[in-house]
Chains A and B, each alone.
Chain A
Amino acid sequence: MVGITTTIPLEIPLAAGKNIVDLNNLFVTHENPQELIEEAEMAGFPRNTCGWIKGIYGAIQKLDIHEVISVTEGDCSNTRALMEVLASQGIKTIPFAYPFEHSRETLSEQIDSLAAYFKVDTAHILAAKKHLDLIRRKIHEIDRMTWQENVVTGAENHYFQVCSSDMNGDIDAFSDEIDSFTEKAAQRKPLKEGLRIAYVGVPPIFPDLYPMIEELGARVVFNETQRQFSMPFTSSDIVEQYLHYTYPYGIFFRLKDIQQELEKRRIDGVIHYVQSFCFRQIEDIVLRKNLHLPVLTLEGDQPAPLDARSRIRIESFLEMLRAAKAAT
């Protein structure tokens, strides 16, 4: 089993017949994710470090993973230090970068070197891509059913899209799960129309965010980063596909996609989730300046249910949106 620290060109290890697991998902769905964080802190990871980094470290230790593809550029510099710690423990680490200059040439080099590591050729990669694209298209359909047909909840949308980073660790089983869900959802009546919320930023570390929003008469109909994991701009060319993938290329590139989707999905308000101690907290400044909708910046640190303060803030935010909507 090969672990990944965030979405990578999944086509390559799959072409090599490897079993891939997204360490973030492994951490956050673990029966006791808090214990994984504690394990990292006992090993010396500072308290004021991103919970995802510590969780990934804990998951690798607990679940006995010996090979990890680490994204060293386009995600965060903490991953680089995590990779160094893992390497010092004898864990095989394979670096992969989404170069900041965002050029075809530099990204090609990265993809080629990953392919060389796994000893796979273009034909095999393209075959794997074809297989993956089939499933990705089904996930795009779930997304469309969320915002256009209104028959899928925010939590369901989040789940299927976030799992596309590693196809839930088992591509065929995941494909079956998607089929059976889509069939069921297609029979549903549209959900009650309330406030339409966009969720932007990295996936939440809180397990209960989506149900809580729905309890308060609102629904997430856009999950920015999770949707990106499903490669919404599918291209037959693998390099081009990962050039379109917005998440690793800075806030301005992400903003274009966000702005377009906010309009298309008729969004009332935006929840910008930021992880404590993450550099993306700073990007909130640019995001707020460029979005012409109310934004609630929600900060999460530990994998635990929403704390009282965050609940107050979400609740007040939704009340505010409701009052604004009623006034127009």
Chain B
Amino acid sequence: MTGLGIDLGSRQIKMVALKDDWFLWFKSFDTIPFYKQYSSIHQGKLTIDFKGVGVDLHHEGTRIPVVATGYGRNNIDLENARVIPEIQAHCKGAEFQTGLSTFTLLDMGGQDTKVARVEKGLLVDFIMNDKCAASSGRYLESMAGVLDIPLEELSRHSTNPVPLNATCGIFGESELIGKIIEGHPLEHLCAGVNYALLKRVLPMLRPFDMDNMVVTGGVAKNEALIELLRTKTKAKVVIPAHPQFNGAIGCALQAQK
């Protein structure tokens, strides 16, 4: 291993090990059990029990460099690791995974939705959702829970969306229950949820060029949303091979530097 990248997300902790330009392995853990089981605070710094998670950071007498990102560089202070801003990690990851150097990045994670513009390898502008996380993966999870279906099923439907207008993700639950009672077919309800998410994301994309759009984060696995993005924007939508690990990949690349 030549570099380890860690993305401390709100729903999952992702780790990526690189050997030069090659991926050695990917690991992911649910956030809360991970912190309970494998982390502690040592002299005010977050310490990860790497042995416990099965990672050997020593190689021929040297320590493998570690770079992390996550909930704000100010909020995490990971022992023996360099911490970089999330936007930087995601842009580097996307550049590496797609080979593109000019693109608009849409990263949709558990709570965050970020849109960033990279031109010739340089981050030139970005916005993030603020104050409200109704435009995130957590919204999809919660709606799948209300519909009592797995996320994969929710992610399949994009046609005939039932109109959903609640601004709040919590009130959105009762609104969806109301639509179930009205007797709408499950496919249309699913499409409605995906469409509601799209409506929240489109205004964030509006200020950015729509040439290449790289979609990352767990929500990139939502086929219906991707289909809707393709239809509603003129962008060439690119999904990298490892959308959920994109931030951790960016960190691993930085670790090698």
Contacts and interface: CB of A to CB of B under 8 A. Distances in A.
Interface of A: 276, 288, 294, 297, 299, 301, 308-313, 315-317, 319-320, 323-324, 327
B72 A308 contact: yes
A49 to B, nearest CB: 15
Contacts of B85: 312, 315-316, 319
A316 B86 contact: yes
* Chain A interface, >50% SS class: helix
Contact of B130 (A310, A315, A317): A310
Interface in B39-93: 71-75, 85-88
9 contacts: A294-B124, A308-B72, A309-B128, A310-B130, A312-B73, A312-B86, A316-B87, A319-B87, A323-B123
A253 to B, nearest CB: 24
B207 interface: yes
A327 B120 CA distance: 11
Contacts of A310: 130
A240 B61 CA distance: 75
A18 to B, nearest CB: 39
A294 B73 CA distance: 21
8 A-B pairs with the lowest CB-CB distances in the bound complex, closest first: A316-B87, A312-B72, A316-B85, A320-B123, A308-B72, A311-B74, A311-B72, A319-B85
Contacts of B127: 297
A297 B128 CA distance: 10
A195 B74 CA distance: 19
Contact of A299 (B86, B125, B131): B131
Contacts of B73: 312, 315
Interface in B71-122: 71-75, 85-88, 122
Contacts of A311: 72, 74-75
Contact of B207 (A288, A299, A313, A324): A288
A309 B85 CA distance: 12
A237 to B, nearest CB: 42
A211 to B, nearest CB: 12
Contacts of B128: 309, 312-313
B215 to A, nearest CB: 19
Max chain B CB contacts within 10 Å: which of A315, A316, A317? A316
Contacts of A313: 128, 130
B126 interface: yes
A294 B130 contact: no
Contact of A320 (B75, B87, B130, B131): B87
A177 to B, nearest CB: 32
Contact of B75 (A288, A308, A323, A327): A308
